[in-house]
Amino acid sequence: MDVSRLGVHDSVRAVCPPAVLAERLRVADADVSVVDDDVTGVDAVVTFGHVDAFVGLDWVHCIRAGYDDFPLDAYRDAGTVVTNSTGIHGTSVGETALGLMLSLARRLHEYRDAQTERSWTTPAWDTPFTLRDERLTVVGLGTLGGGIATRADAIGMRVDGVRRTPTRTPHTRTVYTPDRLHEAVADARFVAVAVPLTDATRGLIDADVLAAMRDDAYLVNVARGAVVDEDALIAALDADALAGAALDVFETEPLPESSPLWDLDDVLVTPHAAPLDRAYPEAVARIVRTTLRRDDGADVVNRVA
């Protein structure tokens, strides 16, 4: 890609200081600067979020895997190439999801809560369990789902998955297509959601899917809040039709102070932080540098528009 002036948009501060990412990109053959919403001085931007002024630039690189809030048709109409950062979150989100499942099974969150009260408290004898041999269904088996499946398999969980392409992926036993979602979740102790937010996945985990899950099952959502019907989830938790949940993403972010999710014992709330990692800027920079070096007309990496 022939880019001589590359902007790093302020919004990347959601994962690292913009200057840090700019520094990583300076090794590329382009003039790199940190920019706000005024992008008149650059040909391309590396950004966390969409800004209308980006439409019409040569290239916009999103430092996230999810680009559901980017108006792709507008970018296409303007001839702006858009790329994303899928491929870099398998280890970080995989480890976070495993950590959340371990906390729920081994009751680690309870111990930390008790510690803040200086209270030496053990749980009811029959609440802790081990993840070994427990069933996990991962909905979406790409970078995130693969990262979760790999780590769950490594500690002896029995991993199934759901994706549109009906082929098995490493570390999974059975792969279901979305039309068999109810069957896929029915026996799982954990259901981990790792699909992109699209028209097909909005509200995918609805009241019916939650009802198809075991009463002692936990929902883990590291994808996008709107993939899960949050009211239906809260109702299922209130009715003890689910054991709990670990949620990194929400329909409204930050999660409003009034949300009942904050107060539920077996709900772990993390602030859309599952992939945070000091290595994040370098991982993004590797993708961007690869595309910057392409002058052979080959497809740019991770192109979504």
- Residues at the interface with ligand 7N6 (CB under 6 A): 14-15, 64-66, 89, 272, 275-276
Q: List C-alpha distances in Å: 214 to 92, 157, 227, 232.
A: 28, 17, 19, 15
Helix (H, G, I), strand (E, B) or coil at 33: strand
Helix, strand, coil content of the chain in percent (nearest 5)? 35, 15, 50
CA–CA dist 46, 128 (Å, integer): 45
- 11 counts as binding ligand NDP under rule CB under 6 A: no
Nearer to ligand 7N6, 30 or 283 (CB): 283
- Report the partner that residue 140 touches, choosing among ligand NDP, ligand 7N6, none (CB closer than 5 to 8 A by kind): ligand NDP
Copy the structure tokens of residue 43: 């040909």
Q: Does 200 bind ligand NDP (CB under 6 A)?
A: yes
Catalytic pick among 253, 293, 294, 303: 253
Please identify, among the stretches 123-131, 163-171, 238-246, 287-295, the one whose residues bind ligand NDP according to the rule CB under 6 A: 163-171
What does the alpha-carbon distance between residue 96 and residue 107 come to, in Å, rounded to a whole number?
16
CB of 66 to ligand 7N6, least distance (A): 3
Q: Give SS3 for 213.
A: coil
Per the annotation, the verdict on 224 as an active-site residue is: yes
* Catalytic hit among 109, 272, 286, 289: 272
Residue 97 found at the interface with ligand NDP (CB under 6 A): no
* Contact indicator for 292, 28 with CB cutoff of 8 Å: yes
Least CB distance to ligand 7N6 at residue 82 (A):
14
DSSP track, 70-81: S-HHHHHHHT-E
Nearer to ligand 7N6, 1 or 15 (CB): 15
What residue type is 198 in one-letter code?
T
- The answer to whether residue 253 is catalytic is yes
**Strand stretches in the chain, DSSP E:** 5-9, 31-35, 44-47, 59-62, 81-83, 135-139, 158-162, 175-176, 190-193, 218-221, 244-247, 267-269
If one asks whether residue 164 binds ligand NDP (CB under 6 A), the answer comes out as: yes
DSSP string across 122-146: ---TTS---STT-EEEEE--SHHHH
What span, in angstroms and rounded, lies between the C-alpha atoms of 288 and 1? 10
Active site residue 272: yes
Q: Of the listed 24, 151, 224, 230, which one is catalytic? A: 224
Taking CB under 6 A as the rule, does residue 143 contact ligand NDP? yes
Q: Give the shortest CB-43-to-ligand 7N6 separation in angstroms.
A: 24
**Would you say 92 or 137 has its CB closer to ligand 7N6?**
92
Instruction: Report what 15 binds from ligand 7N6, ligand NDP, none; CB cut-off 5-8 Å by kind.
Output: ligand 7N6
Name the token pair of 215: 């009463």
**Partner whose binding site includes residue 200, from ligand NDP, ligand 7N6, none (CB under 5 to 8 Å by kind):** ligand NDP
Nearer to ligand NDP, 39 or 84 (CB): 84
For position 274 contacting ligand NDP by CB under 6 A, the verdict is yes
Interaction partner, residue 7 (ligand 7N6, ligand NDP, none; CB < 5-8 Å by kind): none
Spatial neighbors of 95 by CB under 8 A, at least 6 apart, are 147, 151
By annotation, the residues acting in catalysis are 224, 253, 272
Return residues touching ligand NDP (CB under 6 A): 65-66, 86, 89, 93, 140-145, 162-165, 178, 194-197, 200-201, 222-224, 248-249, 272, 274-275
